[in-house]
Structure 1
Amino acid sequence: MGRGKIEIKRIENSTNRQVTYSKRRNGIIKKAKEISVLCDAEVSLVIFSSTGKLSEYCSTTLMHALDRYNESSGKKKLWDAKHEHLSNEVNRIKKENDNMMIELRHLKGEDITPLHYKELIPLEEALENGLANVRAKQMEFFKMRKKNEIMLEDENKYLRYILHQQEIAMDGNVRELDHEKGRDY
């Protein structure tokens, strides 16, 4: 007994739609793997769900498959001008990052032997500015610490004063009780 044919249209019930998507996605990925192994074919499969989740299978690298597609189809490259611009931007940022890493190594005192005297002057100025900022921050920290110490000392003195006053009051109360009971010291 075979399966009945279903009408190919959007499934309205979201739960049923998700279950069908999962089963059919797994089935098509299984078929892609099978045709790749059985027929020694290069297969690339990319699926985006309605939620944007990516599922994929590639028997080779995706870039290799896309390059072969471009060569075989004779169509315009998949990489349009926008993607070329993004690729150029990525390369520019990588170069900028490399330059910053070199500058960071120089600031750490590494790899400075090949530098010319004129290149060392701004490096020295940057280090002096950084050192001045660090020292200023340390002074700010020490001043705040000193201020906190003074506040704690004042609070300690105040609490000792209150304790002393309570001891005097308690001592006075004890003497009064002893005096009432006829005891004198």
Structure 2
Amino acid sequence: MGRGKIEIKRIENPTNRQVTYSKRRGGIIKKAKELTVLCDAEVSLIMFSSTGKFSEYCSPSTSTKKIYDRYQQVSETNLWDTHYEENGFFLVLQKMQRDLGNLKEESNRLRKLIRQKMGEDINELKYKELRDLEQNLEEWVKRIRDKKNHLVTNQTETCKKRIKNLEEQNKMMRHMMEEDEAERGLEDDGDYESQLALGVRNTHLFAYRMRPAEGNIHDRGYGLNDLRLG
């Protein structure tokens, strides 16, 4: 009984699919090596699994690049044309190179423009370019002047507010000092009047005490006179 024909279709089970790929890959590489040794052929293999794993083989007597170059010569096909590299690495590389070139041109243009605004490299400018440059400079000067005046105005208003606050604080402090001096003046006058009244009372007291003494002395004097007359 003969062996039945196996239907070739996608293996649905991921594990079985990966095992089958590993076995078939090994078999293909083995066949490529046999062709290289037995037939002196130049073989190049590039394989990617469904998971993105990369595998390759190339005959020891050559390289992958040499085989691709020979393919282009024989088939008269440009592998690096956008038709073949639409989503490839070389397309991305070319786009990056174009972007880099555009950025360099823009950088040179801006550098030149800055030098012209500084008054350099203006000899090669035409009349219209010089007029446009002059208008731009005048507009920038106006913007700078307006910005400067705005800052000066803000600073002036701020200084006025500070001065006004200081004047109000000074006025308040002077008022407080005047009230304090007035209170101190009243207290000093009251103390002086109290001391003056006390001094007057002491004088009367002293006079009152001295009167009996003066009377005794007078009496004593009068007695002496009486004795002398006798």
Give the whole-Å Cα distance in 2 for the aligned partners of 1:73 and 1:112. 55
* Corresponding letter in the other structure for 2:115: R
* Corresponding letter in the other structure for 2:126: H
Pick from 75, 83, 98 the counterpart of residue 88 of structure 1. Answer: 98
Q: Does 1:153 align with 2:169?
A: no
Deviations 1:15-39 (A, max 9, x none): xxxxxxxxxxxxxxxxxxxxxxxxx
SS in 2 for 1:109: coil
* Corresponding letter in the other structure for 1:150: K
Distance 1:100-1:174 versus aligned 2 partners, 3 A rule: same
Pick from 182, 186, 189 the counterpart of residue 176 of structure 1. Answer: 186
Give the whole-Å Cα distance in 1 for the aligned partners of 2:107 and 2:184. 78
Give the whole-Å Cα distance in 2 for the aligned partners of 1:180 and 1:132. 72
Pick from 141, 160, 171 the counterpart of residue 151 of structure 2. Answer: 141
Distance 1:134-1:181 versus aligned 2 partners, 3 A rule: same
Give the whole-Å Cα distance in 1 for the aligned partners of 2:108 and 2:171. 64
* Corresponding letter in the other structure for 1:168: E
Deviations 1:30-74 (A, max 9, x none): xxxxxxxxxxxxxxxxxxxxxxxxxxxxxxxxxxxxxxx885574
Pick from 94, 98, 103 the counterpart of residue 108 of structure 2. Answer: 98
Give the whole-Å Cα distance in 1 for the aligned partners of 2:146 and 2:152. 10
Percent of aligned pairs with the same amino acid? 17
Give the whole-Å Cα distance in 1 for the aligned partners of 2:108 and 2:149. 35
Q: CA deviation at 1:160?
A: 0.8
Number of equivalences: 115
SS in 2 for 1:111: coil
SS in 2 for 1:182: helix
Q: What's the TM-score once normalised by structure 1's chain length?
A: 0.56
* RMSD (CA atoms): 2.3
Distance 1:70-1:140 versus aligned 2 partners, 3 A rule: farther
Q: CA deviation at 1:126?
A: 0.6
Distance 1:74-1:109 versus aligned 2 partners, 3 A rule: same
Q: What's the TM-score once normalised by structure 2's chain length?
A: 0.46
Distance 1:139-1:86 versus aligned 2 partners, 3 A rule: same
**Aligned residue number for residue 126 of structure 2:** 116
Pick from 107, 117, 141 the counterpart of residue 117 of structure 2. Answer: 107
Which blocks of at least 5 consecutive residues in structure 2 are unaligned? 1-62, 70-78, 81-87, 194-230
* Corresponding letter in the other structure for 2:188: D
Give the whole-Å Cα distance in 2 for the aligned partners of 1:110 and 1:163. 62
* Corresponding letter in the other structure for 2:137: L
Deviations 1:90-117 (A, max 9, x none): 1101100100110111011111112111
